[in-house]
Amino acid sequence: MSEIRVEYDLLPKGSEGRVVVIAGGANGIGEALVNLFYRSGAHVYFSDWDTVKGTKLEGELKSSSSSGHGSVRFSQADARDYAAQLAVFDAAYKEHGIVDHAVFTVGISDPPGWMSGNSLNLETVKKLPVPLDDVLDINLKGCLYFSRIAIAYMKEGFVPNIDSTGAGTRKSLTLLSSANGFHSAPGLYAYAASKSGIIGMLRSFSPISVQNLGIRVNVVCPTATDTKMVANARDFLIAMNAPLSTAEGCGKIIQQLVLDPRHHGKVVLVMSDRGWDIEEGLNRTRHQWMDDEAATILEETQVKMGPNTDWAAIHT
């Protein structure tokens, strides 16, 4: 795996004047990102369903003296609400005429016991697990909503270049998945499924996003991060000497991916405030773990079909 190294001189310079939309920006990693971009001089439009924390964060940042020439605006939005997410992008675009970067950091975990354990039996199984719908709708459907809207606003003015490799492409879409999206996560059935879906979305979008739309796309997969989401498990993780990232440390790696035009199509594991691209290793060793013949057939088929094949159109 290749390590993603944070270039501390790039973060403030590359952020200055950029228009950044962040979903889930009032808490955890999203909150750290709002702080990092705003203090680096970006124009930050962030949303969250937590109105109290979002409003408080906006006020604190506006009253601080370390904003550079940036600005910040909070909007209440549930990731499941398409119109609310759209309104955040529309506000940014109307004020600045451009959206440079979009980052989705929203995520909730499984309700305990819905798939296994003593609470699941022949009586409880008859009840529809409504919290399960929330996990999938917020984590995955909300991400797809966000991505669709982001693409529409960021591709404005782009002239397609079929020979583009992604180098130098400024605009970016960055999505927060989880290490549980590719690594075993006992008990986190819906969470792991939703986060795996985000990685699948990257693999479908990245082959065409630069050439056709001028947008780089990357996914970030943190292990446990010291935020409210894992607060109840914090002591257990520390006792186990498990890798634990800080929200700011993870945020700096995300900021590097957002700003550095060399990064595209990457799935980045973040662990103890360090990041590694796992997608590069999977692609490089495909003929070993898949089987040489099978890998060759798939690769030759993809070459014949070309990067712009619309599989959805073919299926229908």
Count CB atoms within 10 A of the CB of residue 243: 17
pLDDT value, residue 163: 47
Name residues whose C-beta falls within 8 Å of residue 307's C-beta, 6 or more positions apart in sequence.
Answer: 207, 208, 211
- pLDDT means over runs of 10, the chain (316 residues): 86 92 96 96 97 97 81 97 98 98 95 81 89 93 98 90 58 94 84 95 93 95 76 65 81 96 94 90 87 87 75 68
Contact 230, 179 (CB under 8 A): no
Tokens of 149: 């809207």
Same domain? For 276 and 293 the reply is: no
Same domain? For 274 and 293 the reply is: no
* Integer Cα distance of 287 and 97 in angstroms: 46
pLDDT value, residue 190: 92
Same domain? For 24 and 40 the reply is: yes
Count CB atoms within 10 A of the CB of residue 285: 11
Contact 103, 258 (CB under 8 A): yes
* Integer Cα distance of 15 and 259 in angstroms: 7
Q: What's the domain range around 54?
A: 2-284
CATH assignment at residue 56: 3.40.50.720
According to DSSP, the β-strands at 2-4 and 172-176 are unpaired
Q: How many domains does the chain have?
A: 2
Count CB atoms within 10 A of the CB of residue 161: 12
Ramachandran bin of 5, using left for φ above 0, alpha for ψ from -120 to 50, beta for the remaining angles: beta
pLDDT value, residue 230: 66
Same domain? For 53 and 189 the reply is: yes
Same domain? For 202 and 307 the reply is: no
SS3 30: helix
Same domain? For 199 and 294 the reply is: no
Same domain? For 190 and 305 the reply is: no
Same domain? For 8 and 157 the reply is: yes
One-letter identity of residue 225? T
* Integer Cα distance of 256 and 210 in angstroms: 18
Same domain? For 104 and 93 the reply is: yes
Same domain? For 260 and 313 the reply is: no
Same domain? For 65 and 129 the reply is: yes
Same domain? For 280 and 291 the reply is: no
* Integer Cα distance of 188 and 195 in angstroms: 10
Name residues whose C-beta falls within 8 Å of residue 118's C-beta, 6 or more positions apart in sequence.
Answer: none
